[in-house]
Amino acid sequence: MVAVGTIIWLSSELMFFAALFAAYFTIRSVSPDLWSQNTEMLNVPFALANTTILVLSSLTCQLGVFAAERGQVGRSGKLLQFRKWGLREWFILTYLMGAVFVAGQAVEYVELVAEGVTMSASAYGSVFYLSTGFHGIHVAGGLLAFLLVLGRTYLARKFTHEQAVSAIVVSYYWHFVDVVWIGLFATIYLIQ
């Protein structure tokens, strides 16, 4: 039931992001000159590297889910023996990659503000910061969820099916956040 509820909730989140995409394309169609002026200030190679980190974090998250489904909470070998990693190691790595992504977004915001691209400066700035900012808030929510799952694994005496389900549900959310970012990245950085 938890997984089904999560999928339904993610459907509502999808509608929220669909509205942001609609706003982006609507404002873009009305102000094409504004778009060409502002999109040339985007650091596409940096954003691509940041996107790659986030997309790869979906892989590490899923590897953590596979470990949870096997009932393997912690690693069974040495730290650098990745094939023997458990849920904790994969989720910690996923958390770190997500944190690097958020930090990368913050760096990009600082650079764009220095260039004069702010939320109040233009419709482009408003739509850019709303879209990427709400996505960043969702990533931060996912990072919090990883901490909660990890905390449960350290506090529990025994790893149960319920803990595995919570890891799976967090992975649904994380994959959703990644897919939304791929759409945002393509829309904002590639379709200029």
Instruction: Indicate if the pLDDT at residue 158 is higher than 90.
Output: no
Instruction: Indicate if the pLDDT at residue 3 is higher than 70.
Output: no
Give start and end residues of each alpha helix (H) in 115-160.
123-155
Q: What pLDDT was estimated at residue 99?
A: 97
102-141 pLDDT, tens digit per residue, is 999 999 999 999 998 888 888 888 899 999 999 999 999 9
Q: What pLDDT was estimated at residue 56?
A: 97
| 64/167 Cα distance (integer angstroms) | 8
Instruction: State mean pLDDT over 55-75.
Output: 91
Total domains in the chain come to 1
Q: What residues make up the domain containing 99?
A: 2-190
Q: Are 175 and 58 in contact, with CB atoms under 8 Å apart?
A: yes
Instruction: State mean pLDDT over 152-167.
Output: 82
| 178/51 Cα distance (integer angstroms) | 9
Instruction: Indicate if the pLDDT at residue 153 is higher than 90.
Output: no
Name the phi and psi angles at 40, rounded to 5: -70, -15
Q: Are 99 and 65 in contact, with CB atoms under 8 Å apart?
A: no
Residue 2 pLDDT level (bands cut at 50, 70, 90): low
CATH classification at residue 111: 1.20.120.80
| 131/25 Cα distance (integer angstroms) | 12
| 146/124 Cα distance (integer angstroms) | 33
Neighbours of 178 (CB within 10 A): 21
Average pLDDT, the chain: 88
Would you state the torsion angle of the CA atoms of residues 28, 34, 37, 38, taken in this order, to the nearest 10 degrees?
-60
Instruction: Enter the pTM of the model.
Output: 0.88
102-111 pLDDT, tens digit per residue, is 999 999 999 9
For a pLDDT cut of 90, what percent of the chain falls above it? 46
